[in-house]
Structure 1
Amino acid sequence: MNKKYALKNKYWQEIRQKILRADHILFFSDYDGTLAPFNPVPAEADALTEAVESLKLIAEKEKYYLSLVSGRQLSDLKNMLKLEKANYAGSHGLEIELFISDEIIYPFSEQNIDQKSKEIYQDIKEKYQAKAQLEVEDKGFGMALHCSDEITKKEIRDELNEKFAEKNYQVLAGRKIVEIRPQAWNKGKAVNFIAGKISDKFALENYLKIYIGDDRTDEDAFQVIDEGISIYVQNEDDLNTEAEYYLKDPHDTAELLKLLAGEA
């Protein structure tokens, strides 16, 4: 696909003009593969220092409202970044904490999941937790199976697709990972939920949404950006994405954040 490289001056100026025309910016970013380079041990996947420093500056800008949206659990995501005046959406937006509120919001109810789906989910979790060579990340609402190679990932994905066919959970394969999550919620819905809460709270008009992400789960967010700015972080994959712009890797993300923060 003919995508626009966001750091090419022509397209950066295009992005910049869109930002200048808006009175407010609702800025959303994924974490792994976007702010942090991939690490086989999730707990050691640290965001690039220069990216975090720019995010701190962006969060302090009166025009910007910063949100982090990740498949990680909310507590884990907050621990990795520790940014104030930021909204956090963990577990693909199944648990949300807004800087304007002291409570955690759970926009999706587990009551929407039928008993049979719950039983299959529990059986699958116990099966894979028993495999010593596979890291299972229990997120409460769902789980992530971290795979060491593509063959293992494909085998797990195929088995889970069969198990959860027409059930209330969905299976998503990303980079070295297979995730199981409730069918009725995704990052796109989380973005719209946060945007609605923030725009209502501050009576925002003429605002622009920006979303940066790198994986299949971020495609749901790209689809709800409308007239905003959607940016895909390519890493090692092709450019088969709904996003309008792209970056090559988290180092590119850090460079773009530096521009947005006004440091360059």
Structure 2
Amino acid sequence: MQYFFNTWGSLEKKLLRARHILLCADFDGTITPIKPRPKEAKLGEGIRLLLRKISKRRPFIVGIISGRALKDIEEKVGVKGLIFAGNHGLEIAYKKKNFIYPAAKRYVPLISQIARSLKKRLAPFSGAILEEKNLSLSLHYRLVKREKLPRLKEIFFRIIRPYLAAQKIKLTYGKKVWEVRPPIEWDKGRAVLWLAQRLGPGRAFTVYIGDDATDEDAFRAVNKIGGISIRVGRKRGSSARYYLRNTKDAQRFFRRIGSLKK
């Protein structure tokens, strides 16, 4: 994994040669710092203006690919003309049309049922935040006291274990969060490839920037099609080929992209 700005010269040449650039980024931990409570995350005006500026330039198509619900991420970013993907790509807003991965819809009642079961047991755990996203749910435990975390984990897994055993759900792990998702073969990587294909085979040079475990699917997908994969925060074993140090470094990345002369 190489530091992105140490290789800028060669990467800039690739970007300048591209006729179309699909630039996709995660939200939390990538273009804005992670906050203890998801609702507290706010996009800085500087990065918002950069996203708007880049999206209006001819070679660029800008997408935000998040684990948040689609409506939530659209409201958090607040920039028209972007592509938005929520629930790790299960729902996508593209060219004024909304796409929901068909197989995901039938799991909505089950996800809701699991959410109700969790709510009943979460009262004793101050700081546990259940984020219901229709097609999935997330249990954030960043604010849970350390001594209570083992008990919370025990209760959480007791509730979801039967569904996992029956392969009715799948579980993914993020930064201080457990995520319950439909057990289907769809993720951020497949969502990015789906978007790239909409632009025409081989037409879009793809760049993806993310920071968490669920972004690894996108890194691998982008690598396969010869794009640029960037992780915010260096991590051994990541599939990303380049890294940025933190969200401030990511903003520097967008400033550099915005200043490209094509």
Asked if 1:172 is matched to 2:156, the reply is: no
- Residue 129 (structure 1) aligned with residue 130 (structure 2): no
2:212 alignment partner in structure 1: 215
How many Å separate the matches in 2 of 1:242 and 1:259?
23
TM-score, normalised via structure 2 length: 0.85
- Cα distance, 1:81 vs structure 2: 0.8
Unaligned stretches of 5+ residues in structure 2: none
CA contact (8 A) 1:214 1:232 kept: yes
Is residue 142–residue 181 contact of structure 1 (8 Å, CA) maintained in 2? yes
Pair 150,29 (structure 1): closer, same or farther in 2 beyond 3 Å: farther
How far apart, in 1, do the equivalents of 2:252 and 2:236 lie?
A: 20
C-alpha distance 12-165 of structure 1, shift in aligned 2 (>3 A): farther
TM-score of the two chains, using structure 1 as the length reference = 0.85
Give the residue type in structure 1 aligned to 2:63. S
Matched position secondary structure for 2:165: coil
Q: How does 1:33-48 map to 2 (within 5 A)?
A: 33-48=29-44
Aligned residue number for residue 139 of structure 1: 133
Give % identity: 29
Tell me how far apart the structure 2 counterparts of residues 247 and 25 of structure 1 sit (CA, whole Å). 20
Distance (Å, rounded) in 2 between the aligned partners of 1:195 and 1:150: 43
Q: What is the rounded CA distance, in whole Å, between the counterparts of 1:263 and 1:114 in structure 2?
A: 43
Aligned CA-pair RMSD? 2.5
The residue type paired with residue 3 of structure 2 is: Y
For residues 39-97 of structure 1, the C-alpha deviation after alignment (integer angstroms, 9 at most, x for no partner) is 01111111233222211111011000111100001111010111122111011111111
Q: Secondary structure at the match of 1:89?
A: strand
CA distance, structure 2, for counterparts of residue 84 and residue 56 of structure 1: 8
- Relative to structure 1, the CA distance from residue 177 to residue 58 in structure 2 (aligned partners, 3 Å threshold; closer, same or farther) is same
Tell me the matched-pair count. 248
Write the letter of the residue equivalent to 1:177: V
> What SS does the aligned partner of 2:221 have?
coil
Note if contact 2:112-2:134 (Cα within 8 Å) is conserved in structure 1: no
Change (3 A) 1:150 1:224: farther
Alpha-carbon contact 2:67-2:88 (below 8 Å) kept: yes
1:243 to 218, 236, 240: 240
Cα distance, 1:93–1:114 mapped onto 2, change above 3 Å: closer
Q: Decide which structure has greater helix share.
A: 2
Q: SS in structure 2 opposite 1:34?
A: coil
Q: Offset of 1:159 from its aligned partner? A: 4.7
| Partner residue in 1 for 2:63 | 67
